């Protein structure tokens, strides 16, 4: 297995590249290469191999280290800016909502001046017919690429930077001016035709599901179906992977063998079908891995050679990472390679049922840290669900592929075969919905850290070694088994520690970065947590509750909530709360219809409602918003939601205790809020504005910022600082800007030494 150490070394180099500079990598490569040559010259093969591994790891670092961006790069523009952009589409447009299309554009000109670089653009509305490789001109509002920056959550800005995208844009579809007619390639035309055939032959939901099974095309899949597959722990069947490639190759092999075609031409036919399928589906990491392995296995049959599966897997990893090193961080890449490696390495029993159970169990055990790291979930019923779901998905896939193939010759025959998949798809949806209905079908847990992942991987390796050594060396096998159990327990403890650790007696208020919206986590000194609002949500918006707030809570170890507060029904505050209530057990739920009546205690910290919720509080939803005060020792926080000047005056006139150390600035810093009355009454030392980096409202207003500065407040903003983490023991307040990890300390007690 000579390629396995090389693949692991190259992947390690790609992984550590952010912490290793280019100069140290070149030095390590030069020294390791020279050392390898000397060791091999003196026939020190082990030392030479180790030096070569170091050199390959250095190559991995160098492969992923980005070169300096030259003059003329689009990121050098003064952004944000509105501009007329010319360029060429780097791929097919992606329709991810009814009125939203995503484009990847290789820029050629901006406002007539030569520029270069790649821009990801989102178009609103119905665009003209477009195809990859087509030149076009359109008007875009350009911004620097950035994601939500919060502890323990996915940062889309980092993801885009790995793929060489540093600028994003938004625009209207009616501004698109094609500079040449669309000329989609054969693979694109085949994919479009296949999707069209599915839509013509099946009802919309079934067509979307079959498109996911056959082509990995999930943009039209209804959210409830997608959610049920994830909740049942079987979403892998909707990701085109080795499962689809093996089914296709097996079907072609069986069909050609049934009519007497010899083995070598049969292998060549299966290889051609696999390559054509991969071209149509697209370059997803799991497809590339499966296609390369299938090509190596089938090629070995054609050449009458024996295929080495582990070497093939390593070669596939090396080839993919050499061309697209960013794929190392892709969940699809990790899941595909780790699951395949586990199945290859594990001793599997014979027998159809036992083998199916073993393959499913081994794959789930192998990918457990990957699924936890990316999705914070463990499927408890996936092992059993796969016994039903995988055969149904396989039958639907075979019938669907046969229907698409028949449709090339006869539309009637194609529609007949595709129509035959409909009852299978209904059974598949029913089985998945039944499993997803079980409340504990999926358990959400914190993501494991690197140490926990390494401990788990070593534990699996030792367990496998103990199994293999059991007959030859019983004592050694028991020792390895004991070490495997100890490491597995250590990995589990490290992973669950955020949920198991005792409360530290500090109050934490975290204003999360959710764009133009509010989501505030109040962690009490006793460890219990209240969530105030959950960011945006809705059918055509990113659900901040599911994608941002929930992962933050899980990774902090909060698997249940003492309460949630929805301050008012605007989608930028309440939109994500539905996902939170679906994913977490919640003790109490407060909103404008069920306002918090009495102060709520969190182990010494007290959450008190100050106003809002009633019809007398104002005519608008903003002025009816719930306002909360949190007190702990000498520290106090006023969470003012979206109230405006009228509600601010009413609170002051009613004698509410408004003076506070920290003010969550109302209404994202709009000019209609944070009136002089509120600024004078609160006089905060710290003011936090929860605001979107690309909001169209001009928030925060300069006059509001001036009033806060005049009141003596240090202003923090989620659009610039990421999440703002406020921690206090009641005497000292620490404020951390998560984007830079910079912390400022305020002494609230004059007798305390900071």
Q: For the segment 36-69, what is each residue's pLDDT rounded down to a tens digit?
A: 999 988 888 889 999 999 999 999 999 998 888 8
The b-or-e profile of 545-583 (16+ CB within 10 A means b, else e) is bbbbbbbbbbbbbbbebbbbbbbbebebbbbbbbbbbeb
Q: Residue ranges of the domains in the chain?
A: 3-64, 74-184, 187-444, 450-500, 507-747
Token digits of residue 744:
């400022």
- The residue among 426, 406, 505 whose CA lies nearest residue 732 is 505
3-state SS class at 638: strand
Per the CB < 8 A criterion, the answer to whether 341 and 353 are in contact is no
Q: What is the pLDDT of residue 596?
A: 67
CA dihedral 367, 369, 373, 376 (to 10 degrees): 90
Domain 507-747: assigned CATH number: 3.60.15.10
Contacts of 187-194 with C-beta under 8 Å, sequence gap 24+, read 187/279, 187/280, 187/282, 188/92, 188/131, 188/132, 190/280, 191/215, 191/217, 191/280, 191/281, 191/282, 194/280, 194/404
Q: What span, in angstroms and rounded, lies between the C-alpha atoms of 604 and 587?
A: 18
Q: What span, in angstroms and rounded, lies between the C-alpha atoms of 400 and 251?
A: 12
Q: What span, in angstroms and rounded, lies between the C-alpha atoms of 43 and 638?
A: 73
Alpha carbon 104 to chain centroid, angstroms? 19
| Greatest Cα pair distance in the chain | 92
H/E stretch holding 607 reads strand 605-611
Sign of the dihedral through C-alpha 386, 392, 396, 401: positive
Q: What is the pLDDT of residue 753?
A: 73
Question: Where are any strands of DSSP class E within 264-386?
Answer: 377-379
Q: What span, in angstroms and rounded, lies between the C-alpha atoms of 381 and 397?
A: 23
Per the CB < 8 A criterion, the answer to whether 693 and 668 are in contact is no
Q: What span, in angstroms and rounded, lies between the C-alpha atoms of 396 and 404?
A: 12
Beta-carbon count within 10 A of 137 CB: 15
- pLDDT > 90: percent of the chain: 60
- Our CA angle for 734, 738, 739, nearest 5°, is 140
Per the CB < 8 A criterion, the answer to whether 739 and 730 are in contact is no
Q: What is the pLDDT of residue 615?
A: 52
Q: What is the pLDDT of residue 616?
A: 47
Q: What span, in angstroms and rounded, lies between the C-alpha atoms of 113 and 525?
A: 57
Q: What span, in angstroms and rounded, lies between the C-alpha atoms of 21 and 25?
A: 6
Domain 74-184: assigned CATH number: 2.40.50.140
Token digits of residue 105:
């554009």
Q: What span, in angstroms and rounded, lies between the C-alpha atoms of 125 and 173?
A: 5
Question: Where are any strands of DSSP class E within 111-207?
Answer: 113-114, 118-124, 135-144, 165-172, 177-178
Per the CB < 8 A criterion, the answer to whether 663 and 711 are in contact is no
Per the CB < 8 A criterion, the answer to whether 602 and 549 are in contact is no
Token digits of residue 341:
């490696």
Q: What span, in angstroms and rounded, lies between the C-alpha atoms of 256 and 319?
A: 31
The b-or-e profile of 331-343 (16+ CB within 10 A means b, else e) is bbbbbbbbbbbbb
Task: Give me the residue label for tokens 């885009």.
Answer: 160
DSSP letter for 667, please: G
- The residue among 513, 591, 573 whose CA lies nearest residue 537 is 573
Q: What span, in angstroms and rounded, lies between the C-alpha atoms of 143 and 299?
A: 48
Q: What span, in angstroms and rounded, lies between the C-alpha atoms of 97 and 476?
A: 58
Q: What span, in angstroms and rounded, lies between the C-alpha atoms of 600 and 666?
A: 22
DSSP letter string over 67-118? PPPPTTBGGGS-SSEEEEEEEEESS--EEEETTEEEEEEEEEEETTEE-BSE
- Our CA angle for 7, 57, 447, nearest 5°, is 75
- The residue among 322, 307, 453, 431 whose CA lies nearest residue 381 is 431
CA dihedral 243, 247, 249, 254 (to 10 degrees): 160
Task: Give me the residue label for tokens 């939109």.
Answer: 575
- The residue among 202, 386, 215, 371 whose CA lies nearest residue 284 is 215
3-state SS class at 347: coil
> What is the block-wise mean pLDDT of the chain (754 residues), using blocks of 10 residues?
90 93 93 93 89 95 88 91 94 83 95 94 92 94 94 93 93 94 87 90 91 83 86 81 80 84 88 86 80 84 81 90 93 88 84 78 91 92 85 90 87 89 94 90 93 95 88 82 94 96 95 96 96 86 92 97 94 94 93 76 92 56 91 96 92 90 96 93 96 89 94 95 96 96 92 73
């Amino acid at each position: 297995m000579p390629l396995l150490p090389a693949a692991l070394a190259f992947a390690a180099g790609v992984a550590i590249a952010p912490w290793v500079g280019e100069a140290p990598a070149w030095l390590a490569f030069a020294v390791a290469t020279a050392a390898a040559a000397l060791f091999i010259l003196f026939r020190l093969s082990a030392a030479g191999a180790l030096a070569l591994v170091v050199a390959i790891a250095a190559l991995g670092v160098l492969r992923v280290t980005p070169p300096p961006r030259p003059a003329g790069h689009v990121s050098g523009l003064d952004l944000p800016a509105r501009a007329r952009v010319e360029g060429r589409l780097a791929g097919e447009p992606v329709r991810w909502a009814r009125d939203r299309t995503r484009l990847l554009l290789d820029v050629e000109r901006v406002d007539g001046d030569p520029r270069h670089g790649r821009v990801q653009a989102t178009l609103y509305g119905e665009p003209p017919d477009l195809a990859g490789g087509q030149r076009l001109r359109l008007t875009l509002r350009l911004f620097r690429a950035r994601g939500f920056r919060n502890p323990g959550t996915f940062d889309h800005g980092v993801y885009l930077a790995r793929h060489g995208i540093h600028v994003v844009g938004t625009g209207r579809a009616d501004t698109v001016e094609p500079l040449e007619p669309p000329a989609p390639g054969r693979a694109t035309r085949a994919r479009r035709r296949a999707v069209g055939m599915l839509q013509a032959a099946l009802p919309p939901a079934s067509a979307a599901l079959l498109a996911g099974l056959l082509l990995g095309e999930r943009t039209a899949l209804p959210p409830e179906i997608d959610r049920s597959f994830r909740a049942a722990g079987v979403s892998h069947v909707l990701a085109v992977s080795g499962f689809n490639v093996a089914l296709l190759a097996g079907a072609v092999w069986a069909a050609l063998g049934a009519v007497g075609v010899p083995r070598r031409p049969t292998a060549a036919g299966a290889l051609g079908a696999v390559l054509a399928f991969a071209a149509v589906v697209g370059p997803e990491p799991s497809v590339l891995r499966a296609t390369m392995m299938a090509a190596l296995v089938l090629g070995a049959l054609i050449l009458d050679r024996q295929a080495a599966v582990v070497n093939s897997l390593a070669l596939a990893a090396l080839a993919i990472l050499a061309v697209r090193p960013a794929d190392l961080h892709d969940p699809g890449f990790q899941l595909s390679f780790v699951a395949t490696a586990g199945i290859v390495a594990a001793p599997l029993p014979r027998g159809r049922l036992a083998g199916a159970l073993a393959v499913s169990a081994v794959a789930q055990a192998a990918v457990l840290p990957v699924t936890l790291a990316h999705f914070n979930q463990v499927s408890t019923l996936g092992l059993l669900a796969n016994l039903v779901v995988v055969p149904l998905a396989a039958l639907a896939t075979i019938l669907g592929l046969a229907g698409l193939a028949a449709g090339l010759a006869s539309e009637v025959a194609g529609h007949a075969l595709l129509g035959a998949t409909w009852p299978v798809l209904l059974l598949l949806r029913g089985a998945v919905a039944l499993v997803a209905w079980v409340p504990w079908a999926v358990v959400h847990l914190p993501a494991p850290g690197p140490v926990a992942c390494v401990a788990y991987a070593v534990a699996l390796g030792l367990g496998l070694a103990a199994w293999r050594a059991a007959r030859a060396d019983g004592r050694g096998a028991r020792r390895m088994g004991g070490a495997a159990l100890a490491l597995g327990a250590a990995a589990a403890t490290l992973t669950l520690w955020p949920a198991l650790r005792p409360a530290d007696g500090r109050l934490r208020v975290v204003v999360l970065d959710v764009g133009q919206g509010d989501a505030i986590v109040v962690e009490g000194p006793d460890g219990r947590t209240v969530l105030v609002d959950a960011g945006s949500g809705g059918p055509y918006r990113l659900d901040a509750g599911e994608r941002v707030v929930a992962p933050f809570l899980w990774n902090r170890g909060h698997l249940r909530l003492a309460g949630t507060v929805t301050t008012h029904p605007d989608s930028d505050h309440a939109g994500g709360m539905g996902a939170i209530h679906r994913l977490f057990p919640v003790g109490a739920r407060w909103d404008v219809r069920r306002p918090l009546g009495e102060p709520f205690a969190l182990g010494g910290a007290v959450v008190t409602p100050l106003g809002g919720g009633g019809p007398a509080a104002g005519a608008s939803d903003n002025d009816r918003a719930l306002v909360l005060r949190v007190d702990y020792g000498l520290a106090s926080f006023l969470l003012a939601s979206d109230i405006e000047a009228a509600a601010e005056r009413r609170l002051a006139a009613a004698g509410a205790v408004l003076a506070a150390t920290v003010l969550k600035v109302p209404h994202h810093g709009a000019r209609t809020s944070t009136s002089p009355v509120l600024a004078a009454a609160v006089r905060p030392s710290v003011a936090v504005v929860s605001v979107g980096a690309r909001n169209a409202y001009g928030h925060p207003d300069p006059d509001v910022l001036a009033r806060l500065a005049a009141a003596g407040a240090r202003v923090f903003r989620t659009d610039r600082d990421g999440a703002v983490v406020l921690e206090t023991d009641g005497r000292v307040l620490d404020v951390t800007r998560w984007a830079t990890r910079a912390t400022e300390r305020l002494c609230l007690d004059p007798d305390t030494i900071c």
